[in-house]
Structure 1
Amino acid sequence: MMCRSFCGARIILTIIAVFQLWRVWFDLGPNPSYKKQWGRPMGPLRLWITWTGVTCQVPGYSIIVFPSVSVQEGLCVSIPCTFTANYSNTFTNSTGIWTSTLSEPYDIVASNDKSIAEQKSNFKLIGNPDIGDCTLTISDAKREDEGGYYFRFVDRRNSKMSYTYKEVKTTITMTDLSHKPVILHLDTLMDGVEKTVTCSPPGNCPATSLTFQWRKSNIPGTWRKNASTITFTPMLDDDNTTITCEMSHSKGKMTQRTLPLHVYKKPQILQESQCRKNLSAIYCECLAMANPPASITWSSTGINVTETSGFSIKSSSHGYNTVSRLESTVMSPADLWCTARNTEGLVSQKIPIYGGANKSMSTKDDEKDIYINAEGEKEDGKKEEDVEEGIYANY
């Protein structure tokens, strides 16, 4: 009788609240902008009805939990849940049980009592029943997990204070995998520096039955198989390519995420850098490889090496390479240093000076096209229009 009165009162209060909101809506008239504004306050009411339902529970025993939850196959979900028993939510050494049946023997899927055999290893009662928390998690969701589940409370100190909240059922439904995986730790990539990257399910879900494989746009086919975490050494050849993680569950449904690779490199002065000196002039070239491309400056002991101090300096970049050419017919420095710098660092190197009038770098008879590729290696016979990455130097 008490239950019937309690339930009836809740229904009446709900009807009154809905009627009052309808009157406010009606009194606003036909102006659609007002209705749009007042559409928002109705949201919490609808949410409250969805949360609690209009159910008849024994006075003093209540539970708040989502009546229906959808989860993608292979992923996980956390279902918040709170309850009271005998008007209290504080207990000592109590037991919480999630079950798919309402009568004994209960088909228990999760419990905080480790001595109880659980039917589903991927269901976990992570809430603490001693503080009225019945939160349930489901990991590695499967089609066979679909169905309705109930919470049951048992006070071990008082066997009479046990209750199954049969008025409120949480129904689990399964959908196909559609969420993309998450690629972690793919931030700054440095040329030649080992990097470990992880691909994981969204929402920090444990990847129990999920499988992963990797693809890289500059490598045909599958790059790495059956590994959620991989370690590789990025090179400049990987810059502006992409990396893809494919995630699939046991039924074969697959989703993927693709991210661009940006590989950075500290400046490196190439061994082709040199100076030629004859009786009337000195000619120098400094070649540096870097990403972003480096800027190059020159220095010498006791001499200010600038265009205003008797030197001609011209620099150009192509791809990852920069070449700076220095020439002077009025200055004859004893040594020359080339400094290349970018956002990742700088490097200085003394450039060797070779003498002899017949070895001048600027004479057309000795000039030869040398192509410096992305790895800093010389290649003859390249045409400049065929070059994508690299730079020419004339010797």
Structure 2
Amino acid sequence: MVPLLLLPLLWGGSLQEQPGYELRVQESVRVQEGLCVHVPCSFSYPRSSWFSSGTLYTYWYRDGDNTGHKILVATNNEVKSVKTEFRNRFFLADPKTNDCSLSIRDARMRDTGTYFFRVEKENCGNYSYKEKKLKLQVTALTDKPDIHIPELLEADRSTQLTCSLSGACEGGSRLTFSWVGDALDSLNPQTLHSSALTFTPRPQDHGTNLTCQVKCAGSSVITQRTIWLNVFYAPRHLTIGISFRNVTALKILQTISSLTILEGEAVRLLCVADSNPPAKLSWFRGSPALNATPISSTATLELPRVGTAEEGEFSCRAWHPLGSQTLSLSLSVVRKSVSRAGVVPAALGGAGVMALLSLCLCLLFLYIVRARRNPAAGRPQVRDGEDPVMGTVTWGSRENRRPDRLPREMIPAGDAPPSGEQQELQYVNLNFHKMKPQKPPDQEVTNSRVYSKIEKKSK
């Protein structure tokens, strides 16, 4: 009689698995708040005992936590009522294939607890698999969203990025997306609240940050991920830098087309290109042909001693998979004996000419002062405010009064007038004008002289 009395208890479920009843499910599952989780499950029962052709119902209950009270959270039996807080969030699979999998959407903190599975067949019996329960734990949302870039970001080419949160599922809690970044300033703000973002990167967007923020409905927690944009673009702003041996740390980063160098000077040419990834830089003599051999396969071209052989055109080519660019420079060489306007500071030979001219002006000034101090010489009259040296200087009065004779101190040796011959005083006009440009470089000057020419007037 005892076995018969125990039979209903065993039929209703026991702590020991009965022959023919088996449940295969993981014992512990963890999910973050607001996300979804799918718990695979399968079961078996003794079909020989359950011979009835009635409908098979399955249930998932939440254990009453030491109260003995169970809460129905999911079932395929439409007659049974599921508690409101679990309705439309906990779902069961089709039991016809012995599938007891449980899907949970929009997990909430209060969902944490222990759950067990129960099977029932009309006009046959039921069985609760309490010997193997499911422990569900809901934690705070800490996962960061994923940003997917389908291809390389190429400047001026439209592309689409997608932001997704692992664990989110269709039909779960509504997710709010927000895109933030300097590269998105020109976009319509309404497009920045979708999981998919379409934009066209620019070269200046390279190296900037892009952030995707995700917020679950009903939660104040925001999770986000920030990525660094790697934008590919062809060379732009190709420039040539110049440095000289005698000038320390001189670097001119500007586009130039010609350069004049003093013969014998050491020059370094540096080619700079803005591109990503960095372009391959090389130097050529003249305009580079398709398969031309470079004279330098780096960004720097060294010219240790410039001569006439280095005159001509030099070209820097920046090669890049997205496009190449070439910049040419015309190099001219000036001999050291030639003073040439426009030569680079290291080749200013005109400094010597200026020094010689200054010396002549000083001698001339002393000569005039000495003449003025001679009591025998006529004293020139100078108008108020007129500089006798830097302006037009006249030896003699403004009324063309002439002295009877030239002071002896002003007569150069060997040029004295013949005996008995009356020599009239001559007038000399010294005009100091703005210094005229030097002769063109192609006219070689071997000896430079600065002198004043005094012409004798006829009586």
State the TM bucket, normalised to the shorter chain: 0.5 to 0.7
Q: Is the 8 A contact 2:259 2:329 kept in 1?
A: no
- Which residue of structure 2 lines up, in the alignment, with residue 241 of structure 1? 208
Where do 5+ consecutive residues of structure 2 fail to align? 64-70, 240-253, 335-339, 348-459
Q: Letter of the aligned partner of 1:340 in structure 2?
A: A
Among 303, 306, 309, the residue aligned to 2:295: 306
Cα distance in 2 for residues equivalent to 1:314 and 1:189: 27
1:195 corresponds to which of 159, 172, 193: 159
Which secondary structure does the structure 1 equivalent of 2:257 belong to?
strand
2:59 corresponds in structure 1 to 98
8 Å Cα contact 1:63/1:165 also seen in 2: no
Structure 1 residues 304 and 201 mapped into 2: Cα distance closer, same or farther (>3 Å)?
closer
- 1:178 correspondence with 2:142: yes
Match of 1:237, SS state, is helix
| Kept after mapping to 2: 8 A contact 1:276/1:361 | no
Deviations 1:234-261 (A, max 9, x none): 3343333333332222220223333333
| Contact 1:189–1:263 (8 Å) recurs in 2 | yes
The 1:208/1:294 distance shift into structure 2, 3 A limit, reads same
Q: Distance in 2 between matches of 1:3 and 1:360?
A: 119
CA pair 100-240 structure 1, distance change in 2 beyond 3 A: same
The question of whether the paired residues in 1 share the 8 Å contact of 2:35 and 2:107 is answered with yes
Q: 2:178 aligns with which of 201, 213, 237?
A: 213
Q: 1:240 to 1:228 in 2, by over 3 A?
A: same
Does residue 255 of structure 2 align to residue 255 of structure 1?
A: no
Q: How far does residue 74 in structure 1 lie from its aligned partner after superposition?
A: 0.4
What is the distance in 2 between the residues matched to 1:93 and 1:278?
103
2:204 aligned counterpart, secondary structure:
helix
Query: What residue is the counterpart of 2:90 in the other structure?
Result: 123
Specify the alignment match of 1:19 in structure 2: none
2:299 aligned residue (298, 306, 315)? 315
Equivalent residue number for residue 294 of structure 1? 279
Aligned residues, how many? 295
Assess, with a 3 A threshold, how the Cα gap between structure 1 residues 294 and 247 changes in structure 2: closer, same or farther. Answer: same
1:73 aligns to what?
33
Of residues 142-151 and 235-244 in structure 1, the stretch that sits farther from structure 2 once superposed is 142-151
User: What letter is aligned with 1:330?
Assistant: A
2:43/2:99 contact within 8 Å kept: yes
Sort the Cα spacing of 1:172 and 1:96 in 2 relative to 1 into closer, same or farther, 3 A. farther
Q: Higher Cα Rg: structure 1 or 2?
A: 2
What corresponds to 1:24 in structure 2?
A: none
Q: Are residue 340 (structure 1) and residue 318 (structure 2) matched?
A: yes
Structure 1 residue runs without a partner (length 5+): 9-53, 308-312, 317-323, 366-395
**In structure 2, what is the Cα distance between the partners aligned to 1:350 and 1:314?**
15
SS of residue matched to 2:74: strand
Find out whether 1:83 has 2:62 as its counterpart. no
The offset of 1:291, in angstroms, is 1.7
CA contact (8 A) 1:124 1:138 kept: yes
Look up the match of 1:61.
Answer: 21
* 8 Å contact kept, 1:213–1:225: yes
- In structure 2, C-alpha distance between the alignment counterparts of 1:86 and 1:239, rounded to whole Å: 66
Q: Could you tell me which amino acid in structure 2 is paired with residue 208 of structure 1?
A: S
User: 2:211 is aligned with what amino acid?
Assistant: T
Give yes or no for contact 1:101–1:107 (8 Å, CA) kept in 2.
yes
| 1:172 alignment partner AA | L
Q: Deviations over 1:56-81 (max 9, x none)?
A: 24432221324553322101112121
Following superposition, the deviation at residue 279 of structure 1 comes to 12
CA distance in 1, matches of 2:194, 2:73: 34
| 1:187, distance to aligned residue in structure 2 (A) | 6.7
Q: State the Cα deviation string for residues 135-183 of structure 1 (Å, max 9, x = none).
A: 212122134545554434456xxx4456342525435343222222222
- Give 1:212 shift: 2.5
- The letter of the residue matching 1:65 is V
Q: Secondary structure, in 3 states, of the residue corresponding to 1:251? A: coil
Q: CA deviation at 1:83?
A: 0.7
Residue among 263, 272, 275 paired with 2:257: 275
Which residue matches 1:369? none
- Of 221, 228, 231, 2:195 maps to 228
Contact 1:64 1:83 in 2 (8 A): yes
Report the CA distance shift for 1:364/1:137 in structure 2 as closer, same or farther (over 3 A).
farther
CA distance in 1, matches of 2:237, 2:182: 29
Q: Distance in 1 between matches of 2:210 and 2:56?
A: 48
Mapped to 2, the partners of 1:65 and 1:257 lie a distance apart of 34
The 1:346–1:359 alpha-carbon spacing in structure 2 relative to 1, beyond 3 Å, is: farther
Q: Distance in 2 between matches of 1:115 and 1:191?
A: 61
Query: Alpha carbon RMSD of aligned pairs, Å?
Result: 5.2
Question: Partner amino acid for 2:295?
Answer: T
TM-score, normalised relative to structure 1: 0.54
d(CA) in 2 for partners of 1:270, 1:279 = 22
Task: Indicate if the aligned counterparts of 1:194 and 1:233 stay in contact, CA closer than 8 A.
Answer: yes
- The aligned amino acid for 2:100 is C
The offset of 1:269, in angstroms, is: 6.0
Quote how far apart the aligned CAs of 1:354 are.
Answer: 11
Matched to 1:260, the amino acid is W
Of Structure 1 and Structure 2, which has the larger fraction of its residues in strand? 1
Cα deviation code 1:90-133 (max 9, x no counterpart): x999755334389xxx956254x8999976223333x5534433
